[in-house]
Structure 1
Amino acid sequence: MSRNLLKIEGLSAGYGPLRVLHEIDFAVAKGERLAIVGLNGHGKTTLFRAIMHLVGWQRGSVRFEEAEIGGSRSLGEGRRTPGIVRMGIAMTPQGDAIFPGLTVRQHLDCGAYTKEAWHGRDARADKVFDLFPPLRELRDSLVGKLSGGERRMVSIGRALMADAKLYLIDEPSLGLAPKISERVVDALMNISLDGKAMVIAEQNVELLSGKVDRMIGMHAGRLRGEVGHVDLV
């Protein structure tokens, strides 16, 4: 049985006539933390959106647990996304992407999308609060009134409520002060994967250096090889 949880081959994707990704090939192993690093505007977010079927068009193979979730298609973005989430992929979008009128706890509950996650949402919420202690005292506060760092914690916590097998974390440090960014990234490193995997898109290479298993550079919609490598334990 393959050790890869996700394998992508020949993935191209874009919006309307604009081609953003060009023949992307890479794989993510079970238990691995992989970083896709590069400047904003070079395709990292589009890569995540293509995996989740949220782009206008794409072609190429995206295999998750040996099941094909990619392939050639046009239009209809988002139609297959609920099924992909149920398969076990959760994405934290770039920025906060919050519901300002919901409390922290209500916001977290939104991430418990599947029946299994919903039934176990109290235990999962406790794990999120352990990971991000400031949120425990803020559980009944409106998310729209929180600080930028607290909102980012809520956004990541929402993805964790799905108890997914693959986490796609898009720009966790975006717009945050350096100390808050380090706190958020350290929390991501403390998440037990245990056969799961995490892919982090980030422009701050130093923030992730020495913390993830691999870093792959992205420029102009193409992967440019590994920036650094740490052997998996």
Structure 2
Amino acid sequence: MSGTLLAVRGLSAGYGPLRVLHDIDFSIAPGERLAIVGLNGHGKTTLFRAIMQLVGWQRGSVLFEGKEIGGTRSLGEGRYTPGIVRLGIAMTPQGDAIFPGLTVREHLDCGAHAKTAWRDRTRRRERVYQLFPQLDELQGALVGKLSGGERRMVSIGRALMSDAKLYLIDEPTLGLAPKVSKRVIEALVNIPLEGKAMVITEQNVALLSGAVSRMMGMHAGRLRGEVGHVGLA
């Protein structure tokens, strides 16, 4: 497992009788930004949910830093998720996954749930503000009253407050205007990985061109191989 942070092998998953993912295989190394691209409804979100043990059932192997976090599961979705988060995986769900009654600052601090992250939350918060300067000006604003793009920045920033080694960013530009989408992707590219890794799911291939290490296509619950190496080392 040397040089590999996450390795997914033969992963199938679904909900009730519905099989959504079919024998998924891929891996990601520290320092990589991997994009998984495809249309809505083809399994990208379910892939992230399977890694986080949030699906109804699954089988196959998911290795994180050589430790098995996948295996066969049939009941109790979410039961093992807190432990997976503690291992160092942070997921940003698609859409406005927010607490509308909290301020921007309070929302970000929710991401610093581990003891080490909480003690270091001020510095981590400043790092988020450097990536998203407009959030610095909105620290006391209620998240529920922000624009769609600002809410997406808060959601991503919350994940960055943790001690994560792997970031799973699901459809970060979904429903956003083109200019806002571009700013969100630029911020994701500017996040220093330094031994960490990031997987981004997205529909807009052109938006990610030159912004990630490589792309893989997903269709009907299957990975279709690499779209190409598109810019970053």
Unmatched tracts of structure 2, length 5 or more: none
Question: Are the equivalent residues in 1 in contact too, given 2:11–2:60 (CA < 8 A)?
Answer: yes
Question: 1:40: how far off?
Answer: 0.4
Quick one: distance in 1 between partners of 2:77 and 2:202? Answer: 24
Residue 92 of structure 2 corresponds to which residue in structure 1?
92
Q: Give the SS at the match of 1:182.
A: helix
Counterpart of 2:137 in structure 1 is: 137
Please tell me the residue identity of whatever aligns with 2:191.
I
Shift of 1:115: 1.1
SS class of match (2:2): coil
1:119 Cα deviation from its structure 2 partner: 1.1
Q: Could you give the per-residue CA deviations for residues 62-92 of structure 1, whole angstroms, max 9, x where no partner exists?
A: 0000000000011100011011001000000
TM alignment of 1:138-153, pairs within 5 A: 138-153=138-153
Unmatched 5+ stretches in structure 1: none
Secondary structure at the aligned position of 1:96 is classed as coil
Separation in 2, partners of 1:127, 1:116: 16
Q: Deviations over 1:132-187 (max 9, x none)?
A: 00000100000000000000000000000003100000001100000000000000
2:3 counterpart residue number = 3
Aligned partner of residue 4 in structure 1, secondary structure: coil
What corresponds to 2:220 in structure 1? Answer: 220
The answer on whether the counterparts of 2:210 and 2:231 sit within 8 Å (CA) in structure 1 is no
**Partner residue of 1:45?**
45
TM-score (norm: length of structure 1)? 0.98
> For residue 159 of structure 2, what is the aligned residue in structure 1?
159
Structure 1 distance, partners of 2:230, 2:65, is 24
- What stretches of structure 1 move > 4 A for 4+ residues in a row? none
Distance 2:107 2:201 in 1: 23
- Using the alignment, how far apart are the partners of 2:121 and 2:27 within structure 1? 30
Structure 1 residue 231: Cα displacement? 7.1
Count matched residues.
Answer: 233
Q: Measured at CA, do residues 115 and 127 of structure 1 come closer, stay the same or move farther in structure 2, by a change above 3 Å? A: same
Secondary structure of the residue that 1:73 maps to in structure 2? coil
- 1:78 & 1:60 partners in 2: Cα distance? 17
The alignment yields a C-alpha RMSD, in angstroms, of 0.9
Q: Is the 8 A contact 2:210 2:232 kept in 1?
A: no
Match of 1:12 in 2: 12
Aligned partners of 1:46 and 1:157: how far apart in 2?
22
Q: What is the deviation of 1:5?
A: 0.2
After superposing the two structures, state which structure 1 stretch, 174-183 or 107-116, moved more.
107-116
Say which SS state the counterpart of residue 5 (structure 2) adopts. strand
CA contact (8 A) 2:167 2:197 kept: yes
* AA at the equivalent of 2:176: L
1:62 aligns with 2:49: no
